[in-house]
């Protein structure tokens, strides 16, 4: 088992205080958006086995079967199939959706063939993998997830009293579900000029006024987005999505094609090992509307908030419909918990102090904000630490 040395991604939307607080560090004043734990080539964690810090990518590449287990290599290939994060949103992230595995492979191959640099602003596919993900709230976490029913989105728009929204309302009320949603999203994302600017400004004023009347309601989230992304037509697209607030310990699973945006809060995020994002607003970055419309699944669906179910030996498991990652949580007491081996896993301590004891007696203590990688050979590891909370990421074999 290895203590991980992790990097922080300083994206502009990040909180200046949440991740430093978790790590017990003084804030620098700069945004700190994501703490990455894993073996993504863009920012792999470091481990030190006595010969100095080495990227986890190199350690796994040197012995995939030993680090990941033969079964995991056979099922997912010789790389860690998940990426674990702490995400801290100070302002809304871009609205976005992620591709299926087939779409990611095709899109990546196409952009490679066209020799678009990986760091080019117009690049959509940074790798050939899909990116299903789960977000679990550490504090109250607010977001947008999945399409509302068209009639509900029409009613929401109508409640704002902005006449220029009437054509969108008519489309939402007059066409079948998929056509209504796709046509409305395409329309708002391709609006330009003075009329579009005026409409966005009017909607921003309307949601701000509505939020003042109901500070705890959904309009507060839209007003927050409008304030932090002034003039962005993504605000109109956001009205098509369900508003959701997660309490600490609650989670959302987001599959391919589901449009979503995280508005504010801190959470633990687990995803397939990918960085593929198709943006659809609330961002100054590139929005590829045709590719986005090809990837998005135009189906109305209410968000399914996940709470963990009881599992063996005190492990509380969050069910997800994929095998690339498995997510669970331990709230520890005096009783030792046994961690099964045979697969790679990363443990993150978010409160208290957790003590890992390997079968050979080696001990590793994780303070709040620290994490560890357990290779597949790490069988019969014990987890203790009364009062500690530990999140576990592994795979399903």
Spatial distance between the Cα atoms of 35 and 32, rounded to a whole number of angstroms: 8
pLDDT, mean over the chain: 94
Q: Would you place residue 60 in the very low, low, confident or very high pLDDT band (cuts 50, 70, 90)? A: very high
pLDDT at 22 over 80: yes
The reported pLDDT for the residue numbered 275 is 85
pLDDT at 312 over 80: no
Active site residue 149: no
The reported pLDDT for the residue numbered 42 is 84
Where are the domains positioned within the chain? 141-295, 326-394
- Of residues 317 and 310, which shows the higher confidence score? 317
Q: Report pLDDT digits (tens) over 92-115.
A: 999 999 999 999 999 999 999 999
- Of residues 217 and 46, which shows the higher confidence score? 46
The reported pLDDT for the residue numbered 207 is 96
In angstroms, how far is CA 21 from the centroid of its own chain? 20
pLDDT at 137 over 80: yes
Domain 141-295, CATH homologous superfamily name and number = Phosphomannose Isomerase, domain 2 (1.10.441.10)
Mean pLDDT of 76-87: 96
The reported pLDDT for the residue numbered 173 is 97
pLDDT at 314 over 90: no
Q: Would you place residue 378 in the very low, low, confident or very high pLDDT band (cuts 50, 70, 90)? A: confident
Do the Cβ atoms of 181 and 158 come closer than 8 Å?
no
Which of these ranges, 114-118, 183-187, 214-218, 299-303, has the smallest mean pLDDT?
A: 214-218
pLDDT at 234 over 80: yes
Task: Indicate the fold that domain 326-394 takes in CATH.
Answer: Jelly Rolls (2.60.120)
The reported pLDDT for the residue numbered 184 is 97
Residue of 148, 264, 279, 337 marked catalytic: 279
pLDDT at 380 over 90: no
Q: Report pLDDT digits (tens) over 193-223.
A: 999 999 999 999 999 999 999 888 889 999 9
pLDDT at 301 over 80: yes
Q: Would you place residue 263 in the very low, low, confident or very high pLDDT band (cuts 50, 70, 90)? A: very high
pTM: 0.93
pLDDT at 252 over 80: yes
């Amino acid at each position: 088992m290895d203590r991980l040395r992790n990097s922080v991604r300083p994206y502009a939307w990040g909180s200046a205080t949440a991740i430093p607080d978790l790590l017990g560090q003084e804030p620098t004043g700069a945004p700190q958006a994501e703490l990455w734990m894993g073996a993504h080539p863009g920012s792999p964690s470091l481990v030190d086995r006595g010969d100095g810090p080495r990227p986890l990518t190199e350690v796994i590449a040197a012995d995939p079967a030993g680090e990941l287990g033969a079964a995991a290599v056979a099922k997912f290939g010789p790389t860690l199939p998940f990426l674990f994060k702490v995400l801290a949103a100070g302002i809304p992230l871009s609205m976005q959706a992620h591709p299926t595995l087939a779409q990611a492979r095709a899109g990546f191959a196409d952009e490679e063939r066209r020799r678009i640099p990986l760091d080019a602003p117009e690049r959509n596919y940074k790798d050939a993998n899909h990116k299903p993900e789960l977000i679990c709230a550490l504090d109250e976490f607010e977001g947008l997830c999945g399409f509302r029913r068209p009639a509900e989105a029409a009613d929401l728009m109508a409640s704002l009293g902005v006449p220029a929204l009437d054509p969108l309302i008519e489309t939402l009320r007059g066409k079948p579900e998929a056509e209504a949603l796709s046509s409305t999203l395409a329309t708002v994302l391709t609006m330009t000029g003075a009329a579009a600017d005026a409409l966005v400004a009017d909607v921003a004023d309307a949601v701000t006024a509505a939020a003042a009347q109901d500070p705890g309601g959904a309009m507060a989230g839209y007003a927050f987005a409008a304030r932090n992304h002034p003039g962005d037509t993504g605000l109109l697209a956001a009205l098509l999505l369900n508003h959701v607030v997660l309490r600490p310990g609650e989670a959302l699973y987001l599959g391919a094609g589901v449009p979503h945006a995280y508005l504010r809060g801190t959470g633990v995020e687990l995803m397939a090992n990918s960085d593929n994002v198709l943006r659809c607003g609330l961002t100054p970055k590139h929005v590829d509307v045709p590719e986005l419309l090809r990837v998005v699944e135009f189906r109305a669906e209410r968000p399914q908030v996940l709470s963990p179910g009881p599992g063996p030996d005190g492990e509380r498991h969050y069910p997800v419909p994929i095998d690339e990652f498995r997510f669970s949580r331990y709230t520890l007491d005096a009783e030792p918990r046994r961690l099964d081996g045979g697969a790679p896993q990363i443990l993150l301590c978010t409160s208290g102090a957790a003590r890992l004891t390997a079968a050979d007696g080696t001990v590793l203590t994780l303070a709040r904000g620290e994490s560890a990688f357990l290779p597949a050979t790490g069988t019969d590891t014990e987890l203790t630490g009364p009062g500690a909370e530990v999140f576990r990421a592994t795979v399903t074999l």
